[in-house]
Amino acid sequence: MQHTGEISQPAVMRRRILIGGDWVEAASGEAFPVENPAKRAIIATVPRGTAVDVELAVRSASDAFPAWSAVAPRERGRMLLQVADAMEARLEEVARLIALETGNALRTQARAEARISADIFRYFGGLGGELKGATIPLGDSVLSYTRREPLGVVGAIIPWNAPVLLAALKIAPALCAGNTMVLKTAEDAPLAVLLMAEICQQFLPAGVLNVLTGFGVECGAPLLNHPAIAKLSFTGSTAVGKIVMEAASQRIVPVSLELGGKSPSIVFPDANEDWVVEGIVAAMRFTRQSQSCTAGSRLFLHRSVFDSFLDKLTAKVSTLRIGDPLAEDTDVGTIINERQFNRVCGYIESGLAEPDAKLVAGGLPPTDGPLSEGYFVQPTIFAHTSNDWRLSREEIFGPVLVAIPWTDEADVIRMANDTHYGLAAYLWTHDIGKALRTAHQVQAGWVQINQGTGQSPGQSYGGYKQSGLGREFSLEAMLDSFTQLKNVTVNLTR
C-alpha cells in the first residue's frame, strides 16, 4: 500500500443552521465539533440542534407549505434547475468540503458525488410536468380523475457516507412534488450539505427547505416524533430505520427507508478476467473505504477460478493509493470517525482470529507513520469456506471483503439470498441467459450484470427485505414517496 502527500489544513469554520430562510444558531447556543478524519483535527463547529430548533424548523416548513404547494409544478422545477446550475458552478468547492469532512478521496469520490448531486436537481427539476393524475372511464355521465397532491412537511434524516448526494435525493423530489422539508444532517458530515442548502436558499422561498445539525437522539428523534411531520424519509442503519418506522407507526405517517446491505458479487467460471477484477473493486466501493450500503462485500468465486482470481484481485488492490483525501493522486481515503474505525478494526481482528479464514490482502492498519494520523484502513480481503461466519453476515461498513468459493449454481444463489439484507447484487459472466436467470432469483432491489457502478437518476433504487422500504432516484419514486393520490368524482348530469 502506498501513501500520498499532505495538504494544509484550513482554519476552524463556524457554521449555522437554516430555519425559515435565516441562518441561525441553535436555540441553546450550543455547538459541536466536526472532525477531518484524515488528521483527527477539528475543522468546524455547527449548532447542536434540539427539540426547540426542530419545533421552529417544522413551524417554518408548515407556514411555507400552502404557498409552495400552490406554485405550478414546472415553476417549482425551474427553481430546482437553477439550483442545479448553481451547484455545477461550485462543484469543486462542494467536492473539497465533502472530502475534508468525510475523508472520501477528492478525485475518486467527492467530485463524482458533487456532480451527481447537481444532476439529481437537474433530473427532478425537469419532472414537474410529470406529476400527472389519471382519468377513470366510468361512463359519459361521470368524470372521475386523480390528482397527485403533496403530503406536507417531510422530515428527512441522512447519514454521513454520501451526505450531499443523499440530501439531494430527498430535497429535489420532495420539493418538486410540492412538499416542504426539515432535513437533519449527519453529525459527522454536515458541512457540505449546509453549503448545498446555502445554494438552494438562493432560489427557494423562505421556509421551504430547513436544515438542522445535531445528534440522533437530541435532534433526529424530535423530528421523527413531531406531530406536524407528514412523511418520514430516512437513509441510514437498519437499527435506526426500525426506530423511524416505530415513530411513523404512532401517527400512521408514510415512511421511506434506505438501509443497510451485505450484497453478493457472484463470479462465474468464465469471468476470470481483468475487467471483472476491476469491476469487483468498484462494486466493493474500495475507493469509498466500502462505506456504502451497496458494497458487494460477499464475493462468491467459482471454485475453479478461486485462487487465480484472488491473486489478480490482491494485485489490483495493492495498487490503490491510500492517503490524504484532498491529494489528487489518492484513490482511497479514510474511515469517517474513531468509533467506525475501531469497529472495522474489530472485524479485522475477528477475521484474523478465525481458524478457517485466510487473510489475503490488507489487515490491521499501521500504528505509526503518516497513515496512523487518520482513520486509514487498507482494503482487506479474507478467504473463507463459509457464508455463515460473522464477517459474511454482518454489515461491516468498511473495506473488508470476504471471498467464498462455490461450485453449484443453486447453492450459490441460496448463499447469496441467505441474509436479512437485499439491497444490491453483482453478477459476472459472459453467459447472458445464465446472468439473467440468476438476476431474477437473487433477492435484491438492484442487480448489476458485468458492472459495479453507482446509481443513475431515472432508476428506481431501494431494498428488499431489511434493506428498506420504498424507492429513490426515479420519477416513480418521487410519485410514490412524495405525493398522495386523491380521487375526484363528478356527476355530470346535475
Chain contacts with ligand ADP (rule: CB under 6 A):
157-160, 184, 186-187, 215-217, 220-221, 224, 236-237, 240, 243
Residue 220 DSSP class: I
Toward ligand ADP, which CB reaches closer, 50 or 448? 50
Residue nearer to ligand ADP on the CB measure, 48 or 184:
184
Residue 258 designated active-site: yes
In the bound state with ligand ADP, the residue whose beta carbon lies nearer, of 56 and 383, is 56
- Look-up: residue for cell 462543484? 91
Tell the smallest beta-carbon distance from residue 218 to ligand ADP (Å).
Answer: 9
Residue with smaller CB distance to ligand ADP, 220 or 422? 220
- Side chain identity at 123, as an amino acid letter? Y
d(CA 298, CA 153): 39
Report the sign of the C-alpha dihedral through residues 136, 140, 141, 143, in that order: positive
Provide the H-helix boundaries in 103-210: 111-125, 163-176, 191-201
Q: Is 88 an active-site residue? A: no
CA–CA gap between residue 255 and residue 258 (Å, rounded): 10
Shortest distance (Å) from residue 178 CB to ligand ADP: 25
Using DSSP, state whether 324 is helix, strand or coil.
Answer: coil
C-alpha grid cell for residue 435? 446472468
Q: Closest Cα partner for 180 from 89, 49, 78, 64? A: 64
- Interatomic CA distance for residues 182 and 417, integer angstroms: 36
The helix-helix angle for 163-176 and 111-125 (nearest 10°) equals: 10
Q: Three cell numbers at 318?
A: 495493492
Cα dihedral 170/240/191/13 (nearest 10): 160
Please provide the distance, in angstroms rounded to a whole number, between the alpha carbons at the two ends of the chain. Answer: 80
C-alpha distances out from residue 384 to 41, 342, 353, 354, 397, Å: 38, 23, 12, 9, 19
Nearer to ligand ADP, 57 or 415 (CB): 57
Of 35, 101, 218, 258, which is the active-site residue? 258
Residue number with CB closer to ligand ADP (159 or 457) = 159
Largest CA distance in the chain: 85
Minimum CB distance to ligand ADP smaller for 213 or for 265: 213
Residue number with CB closer to ligand ADP (98 or 415): 98
* Residue whose C-alpha cell is 468498484: 282
User: What secondary structure, in 3-state letters, does 246-276 show?
Assistant: HHHHHHCCCEEEECCCCCEEEECHHHCCHHH
Beta bridge partners of 26: none
DSSP-assigned states of every residue in 403-426: EEEE--HHHHHHHHH-SS--SEEE
**Among 487, 479, 488, 460, residue whose Cα is nearest residue 150:** 479
Catalytic residue among 176, 200, 293, 345: 293
Shortest gap between Cβ of 300 and ligand ADP (angstroms)? 26
Residues with a catalytic annotation lie at 258, 293
